[in-house]
């Protein structure tokens, strides 16, 4: 009996220990499940945060991709790059418009539309329009333009374009130079174009869109008072402001003036523009050799006198100082860009040297940059040994497709021709944010991989322990 008692006690103790072990294992398993649940909850929370941040990151990247470089601020007002300089003749109607300034306003401050003032005035913008001139009606502010009816030499100077409301102030500038006559500085007043011999050339009278053109435009060549016979011969009218010269010849080179009479406030004014046409001819031979017989005054000439060779001085070809060939102009998308072509003429006169910009082999008016690019008038600087001629190209808004355009700075005179090729490259600030987005995505995928590994990792030891306890428990009861 005592033997059975001890045997029963031993079984009870074994069952109690087994039950205790099973309870501990169950608790451990429960704790493991709770830990897994906790890990899963943390993972879901972390994943939710990352998923919420990624769209915001990419939205910020997209917004910043179109963000332009900050404008400088002086005295509480944003400052915009100056406009191309304007050259006009007194006695004509002149309209001042701030194209670059207006484009910057549209791109950066398009949301500020209500309750603003827009003024173009001479000086720094604090003086406003002269009240005496305002009474005469000679100087008029018409929406976003300043009209000078007519322009006077005293109008020359710097003008400010001012956009202001309760919270915003933006200021730009434009310089006007009014000459007494065109002969004063024809180089600055004319618009240069060039074409090879034998081509058909279209010439447009530029910057007339502000005027109501009721009469036909008259065309003159050089200083002749006779109107060109447009509509007959080699001169044909393509559009109201465009003429076509067929089969261009070297004799067609020269200054072409288009003249229009306009009516403003029941008064008639004259508007004219001058185009300097340069006809490309084959490069001349750099040196010419002439021979002349040598006679000795003390001797009788022989049938075969000696010959001497005299070399005439060569006409120096113009040299493009800047930009260098292959230059890449880099600027952010949508920004304003100004590039300069500077040419050294040597001993040649600047008047005889043509300098211009071409886009894909075409003039600006016929290129993809038409409407978004302006070419300044020539700026001539005289130095010892020659002259520098500078022509600037203003890109009002740089677009993605401009990277495929081929820019050419071209110069030519009787001594020869030179051209350099340049290109645009768009600085894309989105690339930085794209890298941030990629880095964030990599981090997110890494975290997901780690959590999935922890969740799906086999729990071999726990399962083995449970199996062992179950086996012991089963064998004990079987022996009983």
Dmax over CA atoms of the chain, in Å, equals 171
Alpha carbon distance 466, 413 (integer Å): 99
At 188-204, the pLDDT tens digits run: 788 888 888 888 888 88
Q: Give the residue, 207 or 125, on which the prediction is more confident.
A: 207
Give the residue among 377, 341, 344 at the shortest CA–CA distance from 359: 341
State the pLDDT confidence band at 297, using cuts at 50, 70 and 90.
very low
Query: Phi and psi dihedrals of 171, rounded to 5?
Result: -130, 135
Tokens of residue 371, six digits? 């409407």
Q: Which residue ranges form the domains of the chain, and what is each CATH number?
A: 73-180 (2.60.40.10), 192-280 (2.60.40.10), 319-430 (2.60.40.10)
pLDDT of residue 14: 47
Determine the length of the chain. 480
What pairs with residue 276 in β-bridges? 192, 255
At 333-361, the pLDDT tens digits run: 767 778 889 888 877 667 778 888 888 88
Alpha carbon distance 197, 253 (integer Å): 10
pLDDT of residue 162: 92
Over pLDDT 90: what percentage of the chain?
11
Least confidently predicted of 7-11, 113-117, 398-402: 7-11
Least confidently predicted of 75-79, 99-103, 135-139, 383-387: 135-139
At 401-458, the pLDDT tens digits run: 777 788 889 888 877 888 888 888 776 555 555 666 677 777 777 877 776 766 666 6
Query: Phi and psi dihedrals of 104, rounded to 5?
Result: -65, -40
Alpha carbon distance 120, 86 (integer Å): 15
Give the residue among 218, 202, 232, 224 at the shortest CA–CA distance from 370: 202
Specify the DSSP class assigned to residue 479.
H
Least confidently predicted of 76-90, 210-224, 311-325, 459-473: 459-473
Over pLDDT 70: what percentage of the chain?
65
Q: Is 71 helix (H, G, I), strand (E, B) or coil?
A: coil
Q: Is 181:272 a contact under the CB 8 Å cutoff? A: no
| C-alpha separations of 289 from 30, 283, 314, 416 in Å | 109, 17, 11, 18
**Measured on CA atoms in the order 17, 20, 24, 26, is the torsion positive or negative?**
positive
Q: Residues 288-310: what's their mean pLDDT?
A: 47
Q: Residues 323-334: what's their mean pLDDT?
A: 80
Tokens of residue 328, six digits? 């890449």
Alpha carbon distance 264, 147 (integer Å): 10
Alpha carbon distance 225, 219 (integer Å): 10
Q: What angle, 0 to 180 degrees and rounded to 10, lies between the N-to-C axes of helices 460-479 and 2-65? A: 160
Alpha carbon distance 215, 323 (integer Å): 42
User: Is there a cis peptide before residue 150, judged by omega within 30 degrees of 0?
Assistant: yes
| CB atoms near residue 333 (< 10 Å) | 19
Q: Is 80 helix (H, G, I), strand (E, B) or coil?
A: coil
Q: Give the residue, 182 or 294, on which the prediction is more confident.
A: 182
């Amino acid at each position: 009996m005592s033997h059975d008692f001890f045997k029963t006690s031993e079984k009870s103790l074994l069952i109690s220990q087994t039950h205790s072990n099973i309870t501990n294992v169950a608790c451990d398993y429960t704790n493991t499940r709770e830990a897994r649940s906790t890990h899963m909850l943390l993972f879901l929370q972390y994943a939710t945060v990352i998923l919420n941040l990624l769209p915001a990151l990419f939205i910020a990247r997209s917004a910043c991709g179109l963000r332009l470089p900050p404008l400088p601020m002086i005295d509480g007002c944003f400052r915009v790059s100056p406009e191309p300089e304007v050259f006009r003749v007194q006695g004509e109607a002149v309209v001042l418009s701030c194209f670059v300034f207006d484009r910057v306003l549209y791109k950066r401050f398009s949301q500020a539309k209500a309750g603003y003032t827009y003024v173009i005035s001479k000086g720094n913008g604090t003086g406003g329009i002269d009240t005496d001139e305002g009474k005469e009606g000679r100087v008029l502010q018409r929406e976003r333009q300043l009209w000078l009816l007519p322009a006077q030499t005293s109008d020359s100077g710097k003008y400010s374009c001012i956009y202001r409301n309760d919270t915003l102030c933006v200021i730009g500038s434009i310089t006007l130079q009014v000459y007494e006559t065109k002969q004063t500085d024809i180089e600055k007043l004319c618009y240069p174009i060039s074409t090879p011999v034998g081509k058909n050339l279209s010439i447009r009278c530029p910057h007339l869109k502000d005027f109501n053109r009721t009469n036909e435009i008259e065309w003159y060549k050089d200083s002749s008072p006779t109107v060109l016979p447009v509509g007959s011969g080699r001169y044909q009218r393509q559009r109201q402001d465009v003429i076509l010269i067929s089969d261009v010849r070297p004799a067609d080179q020269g200054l072409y003036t288009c003249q229009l009479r306009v009516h403003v406030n029941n008064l008639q004014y004259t508007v004219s523009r001058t185009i300097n046409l340069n006809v490309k001819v084959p490069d001349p031979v750099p040196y010419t050799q002439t021979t002349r017989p040598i006679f000795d005054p003390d001797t009788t000439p022989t049938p075969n006198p000696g010959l001497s060779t005299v070399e005439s001085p060569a006409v120096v070809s113009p040299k493009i100082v800047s930009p260098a060939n292959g230059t890449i102009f880099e600027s952010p998308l949508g920004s304003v860009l100004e590039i300069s072509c500077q040419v050294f003429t040597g001993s040649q006169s600047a008047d005889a040297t043509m300098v211009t910009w071409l886009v894909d082999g075409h003039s600006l008016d016929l290129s993809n940059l038409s409407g978004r690019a302006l070419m300044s008038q020539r700026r001539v600087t005289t130095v010892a040994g020659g002259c520098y001629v500078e022509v600037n190209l203003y890109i009002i808004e740089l677009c993605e497709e401009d990277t495929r355009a081929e820019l050419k700075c071209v110069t030519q005179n009787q001594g020869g021709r030179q051209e350099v090729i340049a290109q645009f490259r768009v600085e894309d600030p989105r690339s930085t944010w794209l890298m941030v987005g990629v880095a964030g995505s990599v981090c997110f995928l890494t975290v997901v991989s780690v959590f999935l590994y922890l969740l799906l990792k086999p729990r071999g030891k726990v399962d083995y322990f449970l199996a062992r306890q179950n086996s012991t428990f089963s064998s004990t009861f079987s022996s009983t």
